[in-house]
Amino acid sequence: MLTPTAVLAGIGLVSGLGLAVAARVFAVEVDPRQEEINDQLPGANCGGCGYAGCADFSAALVEGKVQPSDCPVCDDNTRQLLGKIMGVEVGESIKEVALIMCQGGSGVAHLDGRYNGHASCSSADLIGGGDKLCQHGCLGLADCQAVCSFGAMEMGEDGIAHVIPSRCTACGKCVAACPKKLISIVPADTKIHVLCNNTDKGAAARKACGVSCIACKKCQKTFDEDPRIKVQNYLAIVDYKHPPTDESITEVCPTGALTIRLLNSATEEQRPS
């Protein structure tokens, strides 16, 4: 009985020593700064930086593949701390938030049927594009809310998604989750937006939704040689690199698609134009 026990103990000892040697020989050295960076990152693992999670982002940061400002979740103080760890200067970043490019809620966007299936925008979109006559609008089944790790998305009583800007980190997960591709990441300090995603011609767009863009070009014509809103593919689009600032421009829109949305407030707020 002693002999087999001794043999097993010997095998275990040799195996343990072998593993210890292998671990030392094949060990991958980790930059000590990576642990410091991990301690500062929010740990959301949202993927908004383009990496699988915060650990991958920190590894990329110490390797010089990304900059501290490339984490969309970090606030300015955290970015400055990351810059200090890396020994680089970090400029002040512009806060961005997600914006739902649709106002076609209940009683505004007309229905083309009634969807009765799995409560998912992606599933509804597979069946004739959903139950709205507008094939470009919010389906209101909360795919964006489901993927948001920060509680920044909520479904309103009007049946469409709304953003809570103070919680939004602009990680982009909601953008990828929306089958209609109607969520955009925009600068939080902009206040004039075209909240429509419909690229149908004017008559068809207006028939589908009361606040759709009809591509009349009145907003575009307001600008002379410096257009800040352009109509492309039957849809007016704001130039967010050079956005309009004069709120009176919203008065030229005959449908209300061009409107004011304050994105620096605690809750999403729309003021009538």
In the chain, domain spans: 14-86, 96-271
Alpha-carbon separation of residue 204 from 104, 110, 181 (angstroms): 14, 12, 20
Amino acid at residue number 204: A
* Choices 3.30.950.10, 3.30.70.20, 3.40.50.300, 3.80.30.20: CATH for 96-271: 3.30.70.20
pLDDT at 210 over 90: yes
Asked if residue 197 lies in contact with residue 272, where contact means CB atoms within 8 angstroms, the answer is no
257 vs 261: CA distance, rounded Å: 11
pLDDT at 27 over 60: no
Percent of the chain beyond pLDDT 70? Answer: 86
* Rounded (5°) CA angle 228-230-233: 160
Q: Global pTM?
A: 0.78
Percent of the chain beyond pLDDT 90? Answer: 57
236 vs 223: CA distance, rounded Å: 13
Residue 92 CB burial class (10 angstroms; 0-12, 13-18, ≥19): exposed
Q: Domain 14-86 belongs to what topology? A: 3-methyladenine DNA Glycosylase II; Chain A, domain 3 (1.10.15)
Q: How confident is the model at residue 30 (pLDDT cuts 50, 70, 90)?
A: low
pLDDT tens figures, 253-264: 999 999 999 998
The dihedral through the CA atoms of 113, 177, 180, 215 has a sign that is: positive
227 vs 220: CA distance, rounded Å: 6
142: left (phi over 0), alpha (psi -120 to 50) or beta: left
pLDDT tens figures, 111-122: 998 999 999 999
pLDDT (0 to 100) of residue 121: 97
Tell me which range, 11-20, 55-64, 85-94, is most confidently predicted by mean pLDDT: 55-64
pLDDT tens figures, 91-147: 777 889 999 999 999 989 999 989 999 999 999 999 999 999 999 999 999 999 999
- Residue whose C-alpha is closest to residue 227's, from 211, 249, 212, 202: 249
The dihedral through the CA atoms of 20, 21, 24, 28 has a sign that is: negative
Token look-up 């949305």 returns 261
Other beta carbons within 10 angstroms of residue 237's beta carbon come to 16
Q: How confident is the model at residue 269 (pLDDT cuts 50, 70, 90)?
A: very low
pLDDT at 21 over 70: no
Quote the mean pLDDT of the chain: 87
pLDDT tens figures, 151-197: 999 999 999 999 999 999 999 999 999 999 999 999 999 999 999 99
